[in-house]
Chain A
Amino acid sequence: MKNIHYTDLLHDIKFVRWQLAPDESLDIYWNNLIETDPHLEKEIHKAASYLKNEGLNKNYLSTAEREELLNRIQFTIKNKTRYKLRQGLIITAAACAAFAILVVMLTQFFTDSVTDSDIKDGMIVGELLNNEDVQLVTSNNTILFDEDIDISLDEKGIAQVSQSNKEIKKIELKKDELNSLIVPFGKRTNLILADGTKVWLNSGTVLEFPAQFNEKEREIKLKSGEIYIEVAHDNNKPFYVMTQDIRVEVLGTSFNVTSYNDLNSTVVLLEGNVSLTKNGINKKVSLHPNELAIYNSESMEFDKMNVDVENYTSWKDGYLSLNKTPMTEVLQQVGRYYNLSFNFDKGVDLQKRSCTGKIQLSENLDNVMKTISLLTSTSYEIENNRIYITNEID
Protein backbone atom coordinates (compact mmCIF):
# COMPACT_ATOMS: atom_id res chain seq x y z
CA MET A 1 0.00 0.00 0.00
CA LYS A 2 2.57 2.53 -1.05
CA ASN A 3 2.23 6.08 -2.29
CA ILE A 4 -1.30 6.60 -1.15
CA HIS A 5 -2.37 10.17 -1.74
CA TYR A 6 -4.86 11.82 0.57
CA THR A 7 -7.37 12.06 -2.26
CA ASP A 8 -7.35 8.25 -2.51
CA LEU A 9 -8.36 8.13 1.11
CA LEU A 10 -11.44 10.28 0.47
CA HIS A 11 -12.48 7.63 -2.01
CA ASP A 12 -12.17 4.88 0.56
CA ILE A 13 -15.45 4.44 2.39
CA LYS A 14 -13.56 2.65 5.18
CA PHE A 15 -11.62 5.83 5.71
CA VAL A 16 -14.69 8.06 5.66
CA ARG A 17 -16.38 5.70 8.10
CA TRP A 18 -13.33 5.76 10.35
CA GLN A 19 -13.44 9.55 10.42
CA LEU A 20 -17.18 9.89 10.86
CA ALA A 21 -18.10 6.85 12.85
CA PRO A 22 -15.05 5.02 14.13
CA ASP A 23 -15.46 1.68 15.85
CA GLU A 24 -12.88 -0.64 17.29
CA SER A 25 -12.26 -2.68 14.16
CA LEU A 26 -11.79 0.46 12.04
CA ASP A 27 -9.33 1.79 14.63
CA ILE A 28 -7.33 -1.42 14.49
CA TYR A 29 -7.43 -1.51 10.71
CA TRP A 30 -6.12 2.01 10.21
CA ASN A 31 -3.62 2.05 13.04
CA ASN A 32 -2.16 -1.12 11.57
CA LEU A 33 -1.76 0.51 8.18
CA ILE A 34 -0.10 3.54 9.71
CA GLU A 35 2.39 1.34 11.49
CA THR A 36 3.47 -0.35 8.29
CA ASP A 37 3.64 2.91 6.34
CA PRO A 38 4.66 6.04 8.22
CA HIS A 39 4.13 8.17 5.12
CA LEU A 40 0.43 7.35 5.37
CA GLU A 41 0.00 9.26 8.59
CA LYS A 42 0.60 12.59 6.91
CA GLU A 43 -1.87 11.83 4.15
CA ILE A 44 -4.43 10.68 6.71
CA HIS A 45 -4.07 13.94 8.56
CA LYS A 46 -4.57 15.85 5.33
CA ALA A 47 -7.59 13.83 4.27
CA ALA A 48 -9.20 14.06 7.70
CA SER A 49 -8.66 17.79 7.86
CA TYR A 50 -10.11 18.23 4.39
CA LEU A 51 -13.15 16.16 5.26
CA LYS A 52 -13.86 17.94 8.53
CA ASN A 53 -13.08 21.48 7.48
CA GLU A 54 -14.35 21.49 3.94
CA GLY A 55 -16.03 18.33 2.80
CA LEU A 56 -18.74 18.02 5.41
CA ASN A 57 -18.72 21.40 7.05
CA LYS A 58 -19.13 23.94 4.35
CA ASN A 59 -22.21 25.91 3.57
CA TYR A 60 -20.51 29.22 3.60
CA LEU A 61 -21.70 32.73 3.09
CA SER A 62 -19.87 34.73 0.45
CA THR A 63 -17.25 37.19 1.62
CA ALA A 64 -19.57 40.08 0.88
CA GLU A 65 -22.43 38.51 2.82
CA ARG A 66 -20.16 37.80 5.76
CA GLU A 67 -19.00 41.37 5.87
CA GLU A 68 -22.47 42.73 5.45
CA LEU A 69 -23.66 40.63 8.38
CA LEU A 70 -20.73 41.73 10.53
CA ASN A 71 -21.47 45.36 9.67
CA ARG A 72 -25.08 44.82 10.66
CA ILE A 73 -24.05 43.28 13.98
CA GLN A 74 -21.68 46.12 14.72
CA PHE A 75 -24.23 48.70 13.71
CA THR A 76 -26.78 47.25 16.12
CA ILE A 77 -24.26 47.04 18.94
CA LYS A 78 -23.06 50.57 18.33
CA ASN A 79 -26.56 51.98 18.33
CA LYS A 80 -27.49 50.01 21.38
CA THR A 81 -24.59 51.00 23.50
CA ARG A 82 -23.05 54.07 21.86
CA TYR A 83 -19.85 52.29 22.52
CA LYS A 84 -16.91 53.89 20.84
CA LEU A 85 -15.12 51.50 18.58
CA ARG A 86 -11.54 51.14 19.54
CA GLN A 87 -8.81 50.19 17.21
CA GLY A 88 -6.94 47.08 18.16
CA LEU A 89 -3.39 46.37 17.28
CA ILE A 90 -3.16 43.92 14.45
CA ILE A 91 -0.02 42.70 12.87
CA THR A 92 0.10 40.13 10.20
CA ALA A 93 2.70 37.60 9.34
CA ALA A 94 1.76 35.04 6.83
CA ALA A 95 2.71 32.17 4.68
CA CYS A 96 0.48 33.49 2.03
CA ALA A 97 -1.27 36.60 1.01
CA ALA A 98 -4.67 35.65 2.35
CA PHE A 99 -3.62 37.95 4.91
CA ALA A 100 -3.69 41.05 2.97
CA ILE A 101 -7.40 41.10 2.49
CA LEU A 102 -8.20 40.15 6.00
CA VAL A 103 -6.18 43.05 7.24
CA VAL A 104 -7.91 45.36 4.87
CA MET A 105 -11.19 43.96 6.04
CA LEU A 106 -10.43 44.48 9.70
CA THR A 107 -9.12 47.96 9.28
CA GLN A 108 -12.20 48.93 7.49
CA PHE A 109 -14.51 47.86 10.23
CA PHE A 110 -12.75 49.87 12.85
CA THR A 111 -11.76 52.97 11.04
CA ASP A 112 -14.37 55.65 11.25
CA SER A 113 -14.84 57.21 7.87
CA VAL A 114 -13.24 60.56 7.37
CA THR A 115 -15.94 63.14 6.95
CA ASP A 116 -15.62 66.11 4.73
CA SER A 117 -18.11 68.90 4.42
CA ASP A 118 -17.57 69.12 0.67
CA ILE A 119 -18.98 65.69 0.02
CA LYS A 120 -22.42 65.63 -1.50
CA ASP A 121 -24.89 62.89 -0.78
CA GLY A 122 -24.38 59.67 -2.70
CA MET A 123 -20.83 60.43 -3.68
CA ILE A 124 -17.41 59.06 -2.86
CA VAL A 125 -14.48 61.43 -3.17
CA GLY A 126 -10.89 60.30 -3.53
CA GLU A 127 -7.92 62.55 -3.19
CA LEU A 128 -4.50 62.04 -4.74
CA LEU A 129 -1.84 62.52 -2.10
CA ASN A 130 1.70 63.75 -2.62
CA ASN A 131 3.98 61.11 -4.01
CA GLU A 132 6.91 60.08 -1.89
CA ASP A 133 10.08 58.29 -2.92
CA VAL A 134 11.21 54.78 -2.11
CA GLN A 135 14.10 55.10 0.35
CA LEU A 136 16.99 52.75 0.91
CA VAL A 137 18.57 53.62 4.25
CA THR A 138 22.03 52.10 4.76
CA SER A 139 24.36 52.58 7.71
CA ASN A 140 25.85 55.73 6.22
CA ASN A 141 23.52 56.92 3.52
CA THR A 142 19.93 57.39 2.39
CA ILE A 143 19.23 56.88 -1.28
CA LEU A 144 15.95 58.00 -2.86
CA PHE A 145 14.21 56.48 -5.85
CA ASP A 146 11.20 58.13 -7.43
CA GLU A 147 9.90 54.97 -9.13
CA ASP A 148 9.29 51.33 -8.26
CA ILE A 149 12.60 49.46 -8.05
CA ASP A 150 14.05 45.95 -7.85
CA ILE A 151 16.98 45.37 -5.52
CA SER A 152 19.17 42.29 -5.63
CA LEU A 153 21.87 41.55 -3.05
CA ASP A 154 24.80 39.29 -3.85
CA GLU A 155 26.94 37.27 -1.47
CA LYS A 156 29.49 40.05 -1.12
CA GLY A 157 26.90 42.53 0.06
CA ILE A 158 26.61 44.52 -3.14
CA ALA A 159 23.11 45.77 -3.85
CA GLN A 160 22.20 46.04 -7.47
CA VAL A 161 19.28 48.39 -8.05
CA SER A 162 17.28 48.31 -11.26
CA GLN A 163 14.28 50.11 -12.62
CA SER A 164 12.11 48.35 -15.20
CA ASN A 165 14.88 45.77 -15.78
CA LYS A 166 17.58 48.41 -16.35
CA GLU A 167 20.38 48.55 -13.86
CA ILE A 168 20.71 52.03 -12.46
CA LYS A 169 22.94 51.77 -9.42
CA LYS A 170 25.31 49.57 -7.46
CA ILE A 171 25.56 50.15 -3.73
CA GLU A 172 28.00 48.49 -1.39
CA LEU A 173 26.34 47.60 1.91
CA LYS A 174 28.25 47.11 5.15
CA LYS A 175 28.37 43.50 6.20
CA ASP A 176 27.33 43.68 9.80
CA GLU A 177 24.86 46.51 9.76
CA LEU A 178 21.15 46.57 9.12
CA ASN A 179 19.64 48.38 6.18
CA SER A 180 16.07 49.61 5.83
CA LEU A 181 13.89 49.80 2.81
CA ILE A 182 10.98 52.24 3.06
CA VAL A 183 8.25 51.84 0.47
CA PRO A 184 5.60 54.59 0.72
CA PHE A 185 1.95 54.24 -0.29
CA GLY A 186 1.74 54.35 -4.05
CA LYS A 187 5.03 52.47 -4.56
CA ARG A 188 6.21 48.85 -4.55
CA THR A 189 9.62 47.19 -4.45
CA ASN A 190 11.06 43.72 -5.03
CA LEU A 191 14.08 42.58 -3.06
CA ILE A 192 16.29 39.51 -3.42
CA LEU A 193 18.26 38.85 -0.26
CA ALA A 194 21.81 37.50 -0.11
CA ASP A 195 20.60 33.90 0.35
CA GLY A 196 18.33 34.05 -2.69
CA THR A 197 15.11 34.61 -0.74
CA LYS A 198 12.65 36.74 -2.71
CA VAL A 199 10.64 39.46 -1.02
CA TRP A 200 7.79 41.51 -2.51
CA LEU A 201 7.20 44.71 -0.55
CA ASN A 202 3.72 46.16 -0.86
CA SER A 203 2.83 49.84 -0.54
CA GLY A 204 3.36 51.33 2.88
CA THR A 205 6.07 48.95 4.06
CA VAL A 206 9.22 49.36 6.15
CA LEU A 207 11.58 46.35 6.13
CA GLU A 208 14.90 45.96 7.93
CA PHE A 209 17.43 43.45 6.57
CA PRO A 210 21.15 42.68 6.73
CA ALA A 211 23.42 42.73 3.67
CA GLN A 212 24.55 39.23 4.63
CA PHE A 213 23.11 36.74 7.08
CA ASN A 214 25.15 35.31 9.94
CA GLU A 215 26.28 31.69 10.24
CA LYS A 216 23.41 30.46 12.38
CA GLU A 217 20.19 32.04 11.24
CA ARG A 218 18.50 34.45 8.88
CA GLU A 219 16.39 37.25 10.23
CA ILE A 220 14.53 40.22 8.78
CA LYS A 221 12.23 42.68 10.52
CA LEU A 222 8.92 43.89 9.17
CA LYS A 223 8.47 47.21 10.94
CA SER A 224 5.17 47.88 9.22
CA GLY A 225 3.30 47.09 6.04
CA GLU A 226 3.07 43.90 4.05
CA ILE A 227 5.44 41.48 2.37
CA TYR A 228 5.04 38.31 0.36
CA ILE A 229 8.11 36.15 0.72
CA GLU A 230 9.56 33.04 -0.90
CA VAL A 231 12.19 31.75 1.47
CA ALA A 232 15.18 29.94 -0.05
CA HIS A 233 15.42 26.51 1.52
CA ASP A 234 18.23 25.99 4.02
CA ASN A 235 17.74 23.34 6.69
CA ASN A 236 20.72 24.55 8.67
CA LYS A 237 19.70 28.17 8.87
CA PRO A 238 16.14 28.90 9.97
CA PHE A 239 14.56 32.04 8.57
CA TYR A 240 12.75 34.44 10.92
CA VAL A 241 10.39 37.27 10.11
CA MET A 242 9.96 39.48 13.14
CA THR A 243 7.07 41.91 13.51
CA GLN A 244 6.24 44.18 16.43
CA ASP A 245 4.79 41.40 18.51
CA ILE A 246 5.24 38.05 16.85
CA ARG A 247 7.89 35.93 15.17
CA VAL A 248 7.39 33.64 12.19
CA GLU A 249 9.90 30.81 11.84
CA VAL A 250 10.40 28.86 8.63
CA LEU A 251 12.89 26.63 6.91
CA GLY A 252 11.77 27.31 3.39
CA THR A 253 8.32 28.16 2.10
CA SER A 254 6.22 30.94 0.60
CA PHE A 255 4.23 33.24 2.78
CA ASN A 256 2.91 36.72 3.25
CA VAL A 257 3.44 38.97 6.22
CA THR A 258 1.58 42.16 6.93
CA SER A 259 1.93 44.57 9.76
CA TYR A 260 -0.09 47.65 8.93
CA ASN A 261 -0.58 49.88 11.95
CA ASP A 262 -3.40 49.30 14.39
CA LEU A 263 -4.37 45.84 13.25
CA ASN A 264 -4.23 42.45 14.97
CA SER A 265 -1.33 40.23 14.00
CA THR A 266 -2.33 37.53 11.57
CA VAL A 267 -0.44 34.87 9.66
CA VAL A 268 -1.47 32.84 6.63
CA LEU A 269 0.45 29.93 5.22
CA LEU A 270 0.44 29.05 1.53
CA GLU A 271 2.61 25.96 1.59
CA GLY A 272 5.15 24.23 3.78
CA ASN A 273 5.24 24.77 7.48
CA VAL A 274 5.80 27.74 9.75
CA SER A 275 5.68 28.18 13.48
CA LEU A 276 4.59 31.28 15.30
CA THR A 277 5.61 32.62 18.61
CA LYS A 278 4.63 35.68 20.55
CA ASN A 279 7.77 37.74 21.06
CA GLY A 280 9.42 36.84 24.33
CA ILE A 281 7.39 33.66 24.88
CA ASN A 282 8.66 30.23 23.95
CA LYS A 283 5.42 28.43 23.17
CA LYS A 284 5.18 27.62 19.47
CA VAL A 285 2.03 27.47 17.41
CA SER A 286 2.39 25.68 14.11
CA LEU A 287 0.41 26.64 11.08
CA HIS A 288 -0.65 24.39 8.21
CA PRO A 289 -1.24 25.42 4.61
CA ASN A 290 -4.45 27.37 4.02
CA GLU A 291 -4.65 28.31 7.66
CA LEU A 292 -4.89 31.79 9.02
CA ALA A 293 -3.79 32.68 12.53
CA ILE A 294 -4.99 35.85 14.17
CA TYR A 295 -2.87 37.05 17.04
CA ASN A 296 -5.22 38.26 19.73
CA SER A 297 -3.46 40.96 21.69
CA GLU A 298 -5.94 40.67 24.55
CA SER A 299 -5.71 36.96 25.26
CA MET A 300 -2.14 36.80 23.85
CA GLU A 301 -3.10 33.65 21.94
CA PHE A 302 -3.39 32.77 18.28
CA ASP A 303 -6.85 31.90 16.97
CA LYS A 304 -6.79 29.73 13.86
CA MET A 305 -9.16 29.22 10.96
CA ASN A 306 -9.12 27.87 7.40
CA VAL A 307 -9.14 30.35 4.56
CA ASP A 308 -9.08 30.31 0.79
CA VAL A 309 -5.64 31.76 0.21
CA GLU A 310 -5.71 32.01 -3.54
CA ASN A 311 -7.92 35.05 -3.79
CA TYR A 312 -5.55 37.09 -1.76
CA THR A 313 -2.14 36.58 -3.32
CA SER A 314 -2.82 38.66 -6.40
CA TRP A 315 -1.41 41.96 -5.13
CA LYS A 316 2.15 40.84 -5.71
CA ASP A 317 1.40 40.13 -9.35
CA GLY A 318 -0.08 43.56 -9.85
CA TYR A 319 -3.78 42.88 -9.95
CA LEU A 320 -6.70 42.62 -7.57
CA SER A 321 -8.83 39.51 -7.78
CA LEU A 322 -12.31 40.30 -6.54
CA ASN A 323 -15.21 38.06 -5.68
CA LYS A 324 -18.23 40.04 -4.53
CA THR A 325 -15.81 42.29 -2.73
CA PRO A 326 -17.49 45.39 -1.28
CA MET A 327 -16.67 48.57 -3.14
CA THR A 328 -15.34 50.19 0.02
CA GLU A 329 -12.73 47.47 0.31
CA VAL A 330 -11.77 47.70 -3.34
CA LEU A 331 -11.27 51.43 -3.03
CA GLN A 332 -9.20 50.97 0.10
CA GLN A 333 -6.80 48.64 -1.69
CA VAL A 334 -6.65 50.84 -4.74
CA GLY A 335 -6.05 53.79 -2.43
CA ARG A 336 -3.03 52.11 -0.91
CA TYR A 337 -1.64 51.18 -4.25
CA TYR A 338 -1.91 54.64 -5.80
CA ASN A 339 -1.64 56.69 -2.62
CA LEU A 340 -5.18 57.95 -2.74
CA SER A 341 -7.42 58.73 0.15
CA PHE A 342 -11.12 58.03 -0.33
CA ASN A 343 -13.75 59.70 1.77
CA PHE A 344 -16.92 57.81 2.38
CA ASP A 345 -19.95 59.61 3.61
CA LYS A 346 -21.82 57.35 6.01
CA GLY A 347 -25.02 57.43 4.03
CA VAL A 348 -23.43 56.74 0.68
CA ASP A 349 -25.32 53.97 -1.06
CA LEU A 350 -22.35 53.24 -3.27
CA GLN A 351 -20.67 51.47 -0.41
CA LYS A 352 -23.20 48.68 -0.63
CA ARG A 353 -22.07 47.77 -4.09
CA SER A 354 -19.65 44.95 -4.63
CA CYS A 355 -17.19 43.98 -7.35
CA THR A 356 -16.46 40.67 -9.02
CA GLY A 357 -13.64 40.41 -11.52
CA LYS A 358 -10.06 41.43 -11.94
CA ILE A 359 -8.54 44.86 -11.79
CA GLN A 360 -5.14 45.28 -13.37
CA LEU A 361 -3.18 47.75 -11.28
CA SER A 362 -1.40 49.53 -14.11
CA GLU A 363 0.57 52.76 -14.23
CA ASN A 364 -2.51 54.53 -15.38
CA LEU A 365 -4.99 55.37 -12.64
CA ASP A 366 -7.56 56.36 -15.24
CA ASN A 367 -7.68 52.78 -16.54
CA VAL A 368 -8.17 51.43 -13.05
CA MET A 369 -11.00 53.83 -12.29
CA LYS A 370 -12.59 52.88 -15.61
CA THR A 371 -12.52 49.21 -14.63
CA ILE A 372 -13.95 49.92 -11.20
CA SER A 373 -16.76 52.04 -12.56
CA LEU A 374 -17.57 49.32 -15.07
CA LEU A 375 -17.61 46.58 -12.43
CA THR A 376 -19.74 48.59 -10.02
CA SER A 377 -21.96 50.52 -12.46
CA THR A 378 -20.76 53.88 -11.25
CA SER A 379 -19.19 56.81 -13.01
CA TYR A 380 -16.23 58.91 -11.97
CA GLU A 381 -14.56 62.21 -12.70
CA ILE A 382 -11.03 63.36 -11.94
CA GLU A 383 -10.66 67.03 -11.12
CA ASN A 384 -7.81 68.83 -9.35
CA ASN A 385 -6.35 65.77 -7.69
CA ARG A 386 -9.78 64.63 -6.59
CA ILE A 387 -11.77 61.72 -7.85
CA TYR A 388 -15.55 61.91 -7.60
CA ILE A 389 -17.49 58.66 -7.82
CA THR A 390 -21.23 58.78 -8.36
CA ASN A 391 -24.10 56.53 -9.41
CA GLU A 392 -24.18 55.85 -13.11
CA ILE A 393 -27.77 57.00 -13.37
CA ASP A 394 -26.99 60.45 -11.97
Chain B
Amino acid sequence: MKTSSYLTNLYILYVNDLFTYGTYLGFEKEVVKDAIHDVFVNISAKNQILDEVSNIKFYLFRSLKNRLYDIQRGNKNQIGLEGIAAEEVKPFQINVNIEDQYIEEEERREIKKEIEEMLNSLTDKQREIIYLKYVQEYDYKQISELLDINIHSCRKLVSKALSNLRKKYGVISILLLIN
Protein backbone atom coordinates (compact mmCIF):
# COMPACT_ATOMS: atom_id res chain seq x y z
CA MET B 1 0.00 0.00 0.00
CA LYS B 2 1.42 3.30 -1.05
CA THR B 3 0.83 6.07 1.43
CA SER B 4 -1.73 8.61 0.45
CA SER B 5 0.78 11.47 0.46
CA TYR B 6 2.74 9.69 -2.26
CA LEU B 7 -0.38 9.26 -4.35
CA THR B 8 -1.35 12.86 -3.78
CA ASN B 9 2.02 14.07 -4.97
CA LEU B 10 1.73 11.88 -8.06
CA TYR B 11 -1.71 13.27 -8.67
CA ILE B 12 -0.59 16.87 -8.30
CA LEU B 13 2.35 16.30 -10.60
CA TYR B 14 0.58 14.51 -13.41
CA VAL B 15 -3.12 15.30 -13.34
CA ASN B 16 -2.76 18.13 -15.86
CA ASP B 17 -0.79 15.99 -18.29
CA LEU B 18 -3.22 13.11 -17.92
CA PHE B 19 -6.27 15.27 -18.35
CA THR B 20 -4.74 16.93 -21.41
CA TYR B 21 -3.85 13.61 -23.00
CA GLY B 22 -7.33 12.20 -22.34
CA THR B 23 -9.06 15.15 -23.97
CA TYR B 24 -6.60 15.17 -26.90
CA LEU B 25 -7.61 11.55 -27.47
CA GLY B 26 -11.08 12.92 -28.10
CA PHE B 27 -12.86 11.97 -24.88
CA GLU B 28 -15.37 14.15 -23.01
CA LYS B 29 -14.14 16.00 -19.94
CA GLU B 30 -16.27 14.02 -17.46
CA VAL B 31 -15.23 10.70 -18.98
CA VAL B 32 -11.56 11.68 -18.65
CA LYS B 33 -12.10 12.67 -15.01
CA ASP B 34 -13.77 9.33 -14.28
CA ALA B 35 -10.92 7.48 -15.95
CA ILE B 36 -8.29 9.40 -13.95
CA HIS B 37 -10.23 8.54 -10.80
CA ASP B 38 -10.22 4.85 -11.69
CA VAL B 39 -6.51 4.83 -12.56
CA PHE B 40 -5.48 6.33 -9.21
CA VAL B 41 -7.84 4.15 -7.21
CA ASN B 42 -6.45 1.17 -9.04
CA ILE B 43 -2.79 1.92 -8.36
CA SER B 44 -3.47 2.65 -4.69
CA ALA B 45 -4.09 -1.05 -4.25
CA LYS B 46 -0.95 -2.13 -6.07
CA ASN B 47 2.04 -1.70 -3.91
CA GLN B 48 4.90 -3.24 -5.76
CA ILE B 49 3.82 -2.29 -9.27
CA LEU B 50 4.88 1.28 -8.75
CA ASP B 51 8.29 0.24 -7.49
CA GLU B 52 8.87 -1.84 -10.59
CA VAL B 53 7.73 0.80 -13.00
CA SER B 54 10.67 2.83 -14.22
CA ASN B 55 8.66 5.66 -15.70
CA ILE B 56 5.63 6.32 -13.55
CA LYS B 57 4.24 8.99 -15.86
CA PHE B 58 4.29 6.59 -18.79
CA TYR B 59 2.59 3.94 -16.68
CA LEU B 60 -0.15 6.44 -15.83
CA PHE B 61 -0.56 7.46 -19.49
CA ARG B 62 -0.92 3.87 -20.59
CA SER B 63 -3.36 3.03 -17.80
CA LEU B 64 -5.42 6.09 -18.62
CA LYS B 65 -5.66 5.29 -22.31
CA ASN B 66 -6.69 1.68 -21.63
CA ARG B 67 -9.21 2.81 -19.06
CA LEU B 68 -10.72 5.38 -21.42
CA TYR B 69 -11.35 2.75 -24.10
CA ASP B 70 -12.72 0.33 -21.51
CA ILE B 71 -15.21 2.94 -20.40
CA GLN B 72 -16.13 3.61 -24.01
CA ARG B 73 -16.85 -0.08 -24.46
CA GLY B 74 -19.08 -0.04 -21.41
CA ASN B 75 -16.64 -2.26 -19.63
CA LYS B 76 -16.59 -0.57 -16.27
CA ASN B 77 -15.10 -3.06 -13.94
CA GLN B 78 -11.68 -3.97 -15.09
CA ILE B 79 -8.62 -2.47 -16.63
CA GLY B 80 -8.41 -4.49 -19.79
CA LEU B 81 -5.40 -5.41 -21.83
CA GLU B 82 -6.88 -6.01 -25.25
CA GLY B 83 -5.86 -3.80 -28.15
CA ILE B 84 -7.79 -0.85 -29.41
CA ALA B 85 -9.56 -1.33 -32.72
CA ALA B 86 -9.07 1.29 -35.41
CA GLU B 87 -12.76 2.11 -35.63
CA GLU B 88 -12.85 3.05 -31.94
CA VAL B 89 -10.22 5.74 -32.32
CA LYS B 90 -11.27 9.38 -32.47
CA PRO B 91 -9.21 12.18 -34.09
CA PHE B 92 -6.27 13.25 -31.98
CA GLN B 93 -6.60 17.01 -31.46
CA ILE B 94 -3.95 19.25 -29.92
CA ASN B 95 -5.19 22.38 -28.23
CA VAL B 96 -2.89 25.27 -29.15
CA ASN B 97 -2.83 27.66 -26.27
CA ILE B 98 -0.72 30.79 -26.58
CA GLU B 99 -1.40 32.97 -23.56
CA ASP B 100 2.04 34.26 -22.77
CA GLN B 101 1.69 37.67 -21.17
CA TYR B 102 4.65 39.09 -23.08
CA ILE B 103 2.91 38.60 -26.41
CA GLU B 104 0.35 41.00 -27.79
CA GLU B 105 -3.13 39.61 -28.20
CA GLU B 106 -3.16 39.90 -31.97
CA GLU B 107 0.22 38.25 -32.24
CA ARG B 108 -0.99 35.40 -30.04
CA ARG B 109 -3.79 34.73 -32.49
CA GLU B 110 -1.36 34.72 -35.38
CA ILE B 111 1.00 32.32 -33.65
CA LYS B 112 -1.90 30.06 -32.73
CA LYS B 113 -3.10 30.07 -36.31
CA GLU B 114 0.33 29.27 -37.71
CA ILE B 115 0.88 26.37 -35.34
CA GLU B 116 -2.61 25.00 -35.87
CA GLU B 117 -2.10 25.12 -39.60
CA MET B 118 1.10 23.18 -39.21
CA LEU B 119 -0.54 20.55 -36.98
CA ASN B 120 -3.48 20.24 -39.35
CA SER B 121 -1.19 19.29 -42.20
CA LEU B 122 -0.55 16.04 -40.29
CA THR B 123 -2.84 13.03 -40.05
CA ASP B 124 -4.45 12.15 -36.67
CA LYS B 125 -1.99 9.34 -36.09
CA GLN B 126 0.97 11.54 -37.03
CA ARG B 127 -0.21 14.26 -34.67
CA GLU B 128 -0.49 11.81 -31.81
CA ILE B 129 2.96 10.37 -32.36
CA ILE B 130 4.53 13.83 -32.68
CA TYR B 131 2.85 14.81 -29.42
CA LEU B 132 4.06 11.70 -27.63
CA LYS B 133 7.57 11.89 -29.00
CA TYR B 134 8.39 15.59 -28.91
CA VAL B 135 6.06 17.10 -26.31
CA GLN B 136 5.91 14.19 -23.86
CA GLU B 137 9.35 12.96 -24.94
CA TYR B 138 8.61 9.25 -24.78
CA ASP B 139 10.94 6.82 -26.52
CA TYR B 140 9.89 4.59 -29.42
CA LYS B 141 9.41 1.57 -27.19
CA GLN B 142 6.97 3.43 -24.96
CA ILE B 143 5.20 4.98 -27.92
CA SER B 144 4.81 1.58 -29.52
CA GLU B 145 3.04 0.37 -26.38
CA LEU B 146 0.79 3.41 -26.22
CA LEU B 147 -0.16 3.23 -29.88
CA ASP B 148 -0.21 -0.55 -29.99
CA ILE B 149 2.01 -0.75 -33.08
CA ASN B 150 5.56 -2.02 -33.44
CA ILE B 151 8.67 0.14 -33.13
CA HIS B 152 9.40 -0.02 -36.83
CA SER B 153 5.94 1.37 -37.63
CA CYS B 154 6.50 4.15 -35.09
CA ARG B 155 9.68 5.25 -36.83
CA LYS B 156 7.95 5.15 -40.19
CA LEU B 157 5.08 7.20 -38.86
CA VAL B 158 7.43 9.88 -37.52
CA SER B 159 9.43 10.09 -40.72
CA LYS B 160 6.20 10.34 -42.73
CA ALA B 161 5.18 13.28 -40.52
CA LEU B 162 8.55 14.97 -41.08
CA SER B 163 8.34 14.55 -44.82
CA ASN B 164 4.79 15.95 -44.83
CA LEU B 165 6.09 19.07 -43.15
CA ARG B 166 9.05 19.32 -45.50
CA LYS B 167 6.63 19.14 -48.40
CA LYS B 168 4.56 21.89 -46.89
CA TYR B 169 7.31 24.26 -45.82
CA GLY B 170 10.19 23.26 -48.06
CA VAL B 171 13.69 22.10 -47.18
CA ILE B 172 15.94 24.53 -45.38
CA SER B 173 18.89 25.38 -47.52
CA ILE B 174 22.08 24.61 -45.72
CA LEU B 175 24.03 26.69 -48.23
CA LEU B 176 22.31 29.73 -46.87
CA LEU B 177 23.79 29.12 -43.46
CA ILE B 178 27.37 28.95 -44.47
CA ASN B 179 27.41 32.63 -45.32
Contacts and interface: CB of A to CB of B under 8 A. Distances in A.
Interface of A: 5, 7, 10-11, 13-14, 16-17, 19-23, 25-26, 28-29, 32, 50, 52, 54-61, 65-66, 69-70, 72-74, 76-77, 80-81, 83, 85-88, 90, 102, 106, 109-110, 264, 294, 296, 298, 303-305
A54 B99 contact: yes
B11 A59 contact: no
B84 interface: no
Given A11-B110, A21-B161, A57 B41 contact: no
B147 to A, nearest CB: 17
Contacts of B134: 19-22, 52
B104 to A, nearest CB: 9
B15 A69 contact: yes
Interface string B78-106: 00000000000000001111111011000
Given A7-B100, A21-B162, A77-B4, A28 B41 contact: no
Contacts of B111: 10-11
A55 B162 contact: no
Contact of A294 (B3, B12, B96): B12
A10 B115 CA distance: 9
Interface of B: 1, 3-9, 11-13, 15-17, 19-20, 23-24, 33, 36-37, 40-41, 44-45, 94-100, 102-103, 107, 110-111, 114-115, 118, 130-131, 134-136, 158, 161-162, 165-166, 169, 171-172, 174, 177
B94 A56 contact: yes
A264 B103 contact: no
19 contacts: A10-B111, A19-B134, A20-B135, A21-B158, A22-B134, A54-B100, A55-B96, A57-B136, A61-B16, A70-B12, A73-B36, A74-B8, A80-B44, A81-B44, A86-B4, A106-B8, A110-B4, A110-B5, A303-B13
Contacts of B172: 14, 25-26, 29
B100 to A, nearest CB: 6
B3 A58 contact: no
A23 B162 contact: yes
Given A21-B130, A59-B20, A72-B37, 14 more contacts: A7-B107, A16-B118, A25-B171, A52-B135, A54-B99, A54-B100, A55-B98, A56-B95, A61-B33, A70-B15, A73-B11, A81-B1, A110-B4, A264-B5
Given A29-B174, A55-B98, A69-B36, A17 B165 contact: yes
A19 to B, nearest CB: 7
Interface centre among A16, A20, A74 (most CB of B within 10 A): A20
Summarize B's interface: helix, strand, loop or mixed.
helix
Sort A-B residue pairs by CB-CB distance and give the 7 closest, nearest first. Answer: A88-B5, A59-B20, A58-B97, A25-B172, A73-B40, A77-B44, A59-B23
Given A7-B100, A10-B103, A21-B130, A59 B5 contact: no
Contacts of A304: 13
Contact of B3 (A10, A26, A28, A88): A88
Interface centre among B4, B166, B174 (most CB of A within 10 A): B4
Nearest to A88: B5
A7 B169 CA distance: 21
A64 to B, nearest CB: 13
A376 B99 CA distance: 29
Given A25-B171, A58-B20, A77-B44, A86 B5 contact: yes
Given A14-B172, A28-B174, A294 B114 contact: no
B32 to A, nearest CB: 9
Contacts of B103: 7, 10
Contacts of B115: 16, 55-56
Given A56-B97, A296-B9, A298-B6, A76 B37 contact: yes
Interface centre among B12, B17, B37, B158 (most CB of A within 10 A): B12
Given A7-B100, A80-B41, A85 B4 contact: yes
A70 B131 contact: no
B167 to A, nearest CB: 12
Contacts of B102: 5, 7
Contact of A17 (B11, B12, B131, B169): B169
Contacts of B161: 21
Contacts of A19: 134
B24 A59 contact: yes
